[in-house]
């Protein structure tokens, strides 16, 4: 069994893929597991014994060819063609694309052969996006910042690959975290070995995810006055200036940005009492070393449900923007975690493999999320509490009926008109979702099912399209045309 895992995203995504790759090894103990990554991030595979061969996408060669010379494009085409030809020759039995980008979908299609089972984003024969498995279609429809998904990315990757995870899939390599190695790595840093310390990551995967340096400074200054432990600031070489600026005015805080390898970060995380930072690779390393985290998360750009810290006891401070997270709160919550005290502010906490909101935070009950679970996981159809949502569902129901009438009339003399009406229905459905975001997940599911139809004869496409609309109507009929019992008693009554 020859397996290819495609992971073209960044360091954190690669670490989040570790459990899935390990699970693939468990499922296929005699299998040969290959992984395709970007060479810049391949260091994140160091220590993952489940991998037999690493392939590096030739980013540097491509860039050099494209940016120089008259024949740059031709050279780049040859480079890509040759590289992907090598992969295709492997004749993989299973290809799992754990990236969710257009580029990765084309790569997946290019390297798959007739007998390959493909999971994850790929392409149809006509070049259109293909979502061959339910997990990928869920990802396409429901995952990302601003959307309602609450499944963690690590679990979604496993679903895409078609494997189930076990606790043992989450362990760090023993050679990275065994006590002598941890001591060796700590001794390379300025902090005192065997004395408590916390690890602070001042950077993040993107600038906009970073906690402002001025606020870090205030938070750690307060902490410094109230706690006599050590603070080791880590990050990439590019973040060294940030680290230096931060540590220059603090006692017991040491800048170690750019000075540790990824394996060293495992050791430092294992030895730390707490890891503090924004959405970054360190959170995912801490998940593997089972180190609790205090995660600072801006809800406008990060969906913490998807990429939040997995280690038990971790806490997440939430705000729309990073600037809104108070440094006094950061300092206090660091101390609460260190002293194993309850949180003093509303936040999310990792408890028993799920996120739980502390009292005072928003309700974890959410109509849209409950609707998603009903559609994808057979959960109960949620009761409506908002008449405007009911109204939007009613509009969708009418549009659905209109489209079905057109589909059933296709083949008649007015076929062109039928198709125009269907196109307009399509646009109007989008408008309803924009005006009433609570129904957006339902619309997204519906649109994704249309994408999954794929190329076929016209009769088959019409039949499949009709089926998708009928399924849409089935969900809508739970609310539309049903008794007012679907609405809370104290809400407005629907008219039928």
Task: Give the residues lining the site for another protein (CB under 8 A).
Answer: 8-16, 38, 40-41, 59, 62-63, 66-70, 72-73, 76-77, 80-81, 84, 100-103, 106-107, 109-110, 123, 125-127, 153, 205-208, 279-281, 283-284, 302, 306-307
| Cβ 279 to another protein shortest distance, Å | 6
Contact, 333 vs 347, CB < 8 A? yes
CB atoms within 10 A of CB 29: 8
Q: What token pair was written down for 295?
A: 């995660």
Helix (H) or strand (E) holding 266: helix 262-271
Q: Residue 473 CB, nearest distance to another protein (Å)? A: 33
Give DSSP secondary structure letters for 111-152: H--TT-EEESSEE-TTS-EE--SHHHHHHHHH-STTS---S-
Which tokens in the block code for residue 102? 């257009």
CA dihedral 427, 368, 343, 206 (to 10 degrees): -30
DSSP 209: G
Helical (H) or strand (E) element with 417: helix 415-435
Minimum CB distance to another protein smaller for 8 or for 137: 8
Q: Which is nearer to another protein, 100 or 138 (CB)?
A: 100
Residue with smaller CB distance to another protein, 77 or 241: 77
Which C-beta is closer to another protein: that of 107 or that of 476?
A: 107
CA 78 to mean position of chain CA atoms: 33
- Distance in Å, CB of 278 to another protein, minimum: 10
Distance in Å, CB of 495 to another protein, minimum? 45
Closer residue to another protein, CB minimum distance, 14 or 33: 14
Minimum distance from residue 257 beta carbon to another protein (Å) = 15
Which of residues 72 and 173 has its CB atom nearest to another protein in the complex?
72
CB of residue 81 vs another protein: minimum separation in angstroms?
A: 6
Contact status, residue 358 vs residue 332, Cβ threshold 8 Å: no
Q: Which is nearer to another protein, 239 or 349 (CB)?
A: 239
The CA distances from residue 376 to 111, 161, 254, 379, in Å, are 30, 17, 48, 8
The whole-angstrom separation of Cα 451 and Cα 123 is: 11
Smallest distance, Å, CB 124 to another protein? Answer: 9
Which residues are registered as beta bridge partners of 4? Answer: 34, 95
d(CA 435, CA 147): 15
**Looking at beta carbons only, is 112 or 418 nearer to another protein?**
112
Tokens of 201: 């990551």
Q: Rounded to the nearest whole angstrom, what is the least distance from the CB of residue 55 to another protein in the complex?
A: 15
Would you state the structure tokens that stand for residue 116, as one six-digit string? Answer: 């390959």
H or E element, residue 393: helix 387-409
The nearer residue to another protein, 216 or 305, going by C-beta atoms, is: 305
348-372 exposure pattern, b = at least 16 Cβ within 10 A, e = fewer: bbbeeeebeeeeeeeeeeebbbbbb
Burial class (CB in 10 A: 0-12, 13-18, 19+), 220: buried
Cβ–Cβ < 8 Å for 54, 45: yes
Cβ at position 40, least distance to another protein in Å:
7
| Residue among 105 and 397 whose Cβ is closer to another protein | 105
| Region label for 417, one of left (φ > 0), alpha (ψ between -120 and 50) or beta (otherwise) | alpha
Q: Which is nearer to another protein, 107 or 253 (CB)?
A: 107
Q: How far is the CB of 313 from another protein (least distance, A)?
A: 21
Q: Which is nearer to another protein, 72 or 313 (CB)?
A: 72
Nearest approach, Cβ of residue 478 and another protein (Å): 33
Q: How far is the CB of 10 from another protein (least distance, A)?
A: 3
Alpha-carbon distance 50 to 71, whole Å? 40
Backbone dihedral region for residue 170 (phi beyond 0: left; psi -120 to 50: alpha; all else: beta): alpha
């Amino acid at each position: 069994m020859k397996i290819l895992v495609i992971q073209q995203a960044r360091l954190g995504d690669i670490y989040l893929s570790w459990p899935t790759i390990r699970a693939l090894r468990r499922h296929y103990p005699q299998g040969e597991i290959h992984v395709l990554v970007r060479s810049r991030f391949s260091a994140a595979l160091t220590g993952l014994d489940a991998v037999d061969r690493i392939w590096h996408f030739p980013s540097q060669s491509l860039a050099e060819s494209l940016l120089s010379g008259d024949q740059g494009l031709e050279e780049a085409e040859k480079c890509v063609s040759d590289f992907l030809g090598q992969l295709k020759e492997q004749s993989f039995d299973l290809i799992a694309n754990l990236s969710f980008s257009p580029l990765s979908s084309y790569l997946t299609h290019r390297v798959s052969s007739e007998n390959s089972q493909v999971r994850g984003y790929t392409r149809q024969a006509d070049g259109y996006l293909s979502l061959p498995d339910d997990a990928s279609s869920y990802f396409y429809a429901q995952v990302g910042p601003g959307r309602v998904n609450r499944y963690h990315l690590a679990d979604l990757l496993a679903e895409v690959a078609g494997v189930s995870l076990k606790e043992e899939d989450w362990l760090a390599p023993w050679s990275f975290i065994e006590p002598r190695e941890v001591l060796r790595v700590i001794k390379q840093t300025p902090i005192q070995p065997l004395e408590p310390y916390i690890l602070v990551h001042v950077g993040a995967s993107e600038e906009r995810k970073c906690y402002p340096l001025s606020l870090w400074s205030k938070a750690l200054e307060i902490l410094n006055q109230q706690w006599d432990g050590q603070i080791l600031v880590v990050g990439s070489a590019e973040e060294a200036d940030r680290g230096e600026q931060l540590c220059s005015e603090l006692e017991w805080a040491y800048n170690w940005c750019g000075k540790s390898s990824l394996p060293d970060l495992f050791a430092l995380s294992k030895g730390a009492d707490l890891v503090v930072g924004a959405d970054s690779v360190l959170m995912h390393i801490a998940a593997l070393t089972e180190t609790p985290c205090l995660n600072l998360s801006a809800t406008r750009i990060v969906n913490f449900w998807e990429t939040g810290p997995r280690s038990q006891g971790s806490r997440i401070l939430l705000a729309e923007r990073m600037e809104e997270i108070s440094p006094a709160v950061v300092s206090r919550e660091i101390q609460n975690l260190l002293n194993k005290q309850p949180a003093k502010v509303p936040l999310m906490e990792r408890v028993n493999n799920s996120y739980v909101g502390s009292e005072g935070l928003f309700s974890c009950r959410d109509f849209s999320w409950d609707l998603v679970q009903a559609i994808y996981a057979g959960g109960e159809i949620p009761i409506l509490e908002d008449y405007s949502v009911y109204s939007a569902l009613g509009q969708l129901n009418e549009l659905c009926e209109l489209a079905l009438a057109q589909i059933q009339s296709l083949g008649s003399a007015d076929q062109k008109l039928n198709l125009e009406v269907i196109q307009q229905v399509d646009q109007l459905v989008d408008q309803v979702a924009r005006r009433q975001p609570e129904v957006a997940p339902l619309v997204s599911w519906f649109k994704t099912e249309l994408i999954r139809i794929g190329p076929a004869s016209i009769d088959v496409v019409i039949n499949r399209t009709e089926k998708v609309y009928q399924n849409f109507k089935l969900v809508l009929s739970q609310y539309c045309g049903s008794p007012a019992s679907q609405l809370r008693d104290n809400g407005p009554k629907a008219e039928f």
